[in-house]
C-alpha cells in the first residue's frame, strides 16, 4: 500500500505541474508563470520574508529566488523594505498591485480545482481535504525545523 501511495503522490506532483503549465496564464490578463506565482503566493500569504528564508521555504537556491524576486519587484508586485530587527537586511513584501495580481491568479487556480472536483460529492471533497491536510502535516513534521528568519 505504501508503494502505491508513493507512486500516486509522485504522479500527482507531475500531473499538477503539467496542469498548471496548460492553464495559459498569460492569456488571463495579469497571469504569472509558475515560479513567479509560487513566490508571490508565499510572500502574499506568509510574508514578509528575508530572501534566505523565502529560498528555504520553497526549497530553491538563493540565486534563483533572487532573480525571480527581482523580476517581481520590477513588475511592481513586491517591494523591499529594511528589516526592523536587523537594518543590514531587507524584507520582501507584497504590494497592493501584487495582492490584486495574486488574487486574480489564485482565483483562476482554485476555479480549476473546483472544475476538477465538480463531480465529487461534498463529503468526498471534505474527506479528501482532511486527508490531504493530514498528509501535509505529517510531511511538515518530518522536515527539519528551519530557523525563522522573517
* pLDDT by position in tens, the chain (length 150): 889 999 999 999 999 888 887 776 555 557 777 788 899 999 999 999 999 999 999 989 999 999 999 999 999 999 999 988 888 889 999 999 999 999 988 888 899 999 999 999 999 999 999 999 999 999 989 988 764 444
Whole-number pLDDT of residue 88: 86
Helix 96-116 to helix 34-46 angle (10° resolution) is 110
Domain containing residue 106: CATH number = 1.10.10.10
How far is 85 from 36, CA to CA, in rounded Å?
Answer: 27
User: What range defines the domain where residue 132 resides?
Assistant: 2-142
Torsion of CA 12, 15, 117, 35, to 10 degrees: 100
The structural domain count of the chain equals 1
- The answer to whether residue 147 is domain-embedded is no
Cβ count within 10 A of residue 59: 7
How much is the pTM? 0.79
Residue 150 domain-assigned (yes or no): no
Amino acid at each position: 500500500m505504501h508503494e502505491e501511495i508513493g507512486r500516486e503522490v509522485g504522479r500527482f506532483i507531475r500531473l499538477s505541474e503539467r496542469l498548471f503549465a496548460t492553464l495559459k496564464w498569460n492569456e488571463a490578463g495579469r497571469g504569472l508563470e509558475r515560479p513567479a506565482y509560487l513566490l508571490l503566493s508565499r510572500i502574499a500569504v506568509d510574508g514578509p520574508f528575508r530572501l534566505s528564508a523565502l529560498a528555504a521555504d520553497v526549497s530553491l537556491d538563493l540565486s534563483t529566488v533572487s532573480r525571480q524576486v527581482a523580476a517581481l519587484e520590477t513588475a511592481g508586485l513586491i517591494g523591499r523594505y529594511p528589516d526592523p530587527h536587523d537594518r543590514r537586511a531587507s524584507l520582501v513584501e507584497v504590494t497592493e498591485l501584487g495582492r490584486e495580481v495574486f488574487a486574480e491568479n489564485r482565483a483562476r487556480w482554485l476555479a480549476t480545482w473546483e472544475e476538477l472536483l465538480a463531480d465529487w460529492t461534498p463529503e468526498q471533497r471534505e474527506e479528501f481535504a482532511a486527508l490531504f491536510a493530514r498528509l501535509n502535516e505529517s510531511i511538515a513534521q518530518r522536515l527539519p525545523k528551519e530557523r525563522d528568519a522573517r
